[in-house]
Amino acid sequence: MTEKIEIVRGSDNIFRDFGHADADLLHLKAQLAARIIGALNEKKLKGKKAVETLKMTEADISRIRNADLKKFTLDKLIGVLSRLSLQVELNVTKAA
C-alpha cells in the first residue's frame, strides 16, 4: 500500500513559513550569525583568540555558534562581522 505524500514548498524564510510574527528579523539575524560562524571557521578562531578578536565573552560566541540569538541585536551582530573584517550591505525593496 502506497501512501501519497504532499510536498509543500517553503519560502526563503523558514521563520515566516512557521508563522513567527518577527520572521524577517529572525531570518536576518540567522543570516548574519551564519556569516559569523563561517568567518570564525575560515579564520580558525577559537577560544581565547576568538574572545580577543571579537571583544565578547566565550559564552556569547558559543551562543552565536548554537544559533541562540535572542540576546543579540542586529547592530551587535553587524559589529561582530566588522571585527571579522566583513562588511554588511543592506538592500531594501518594496514588499509584494
* Domain range annotation of the chain: 14-83
- Quote the pLDDT of residue 85: 95
Model-wide pTM > 0.75: yes
Residue recorded with cell 558559543: 62
Neighbours of 2 (CB within 10 A): 4
Which residue carries 514548498 as its cell?
9
**What are the tens digits of pLDDT across the range 6-58?**
888 888 899 999 999 999 999 999 999 999 999 999 999 999 999 999 999 99
Instruction: Domain 14-83: state its class.
Output: mainly alpha
DSSP for the chain? -PPP-------S-HHHHTT-TTHHHHHHHHHHHHHHHHHHHHTT--HHHHHHHHTS-HHHHHHHHTT--TT--HHHHHHHHHHTT-----------
What is the pLDDT, as a whole number, of residue 11? Answer: 85
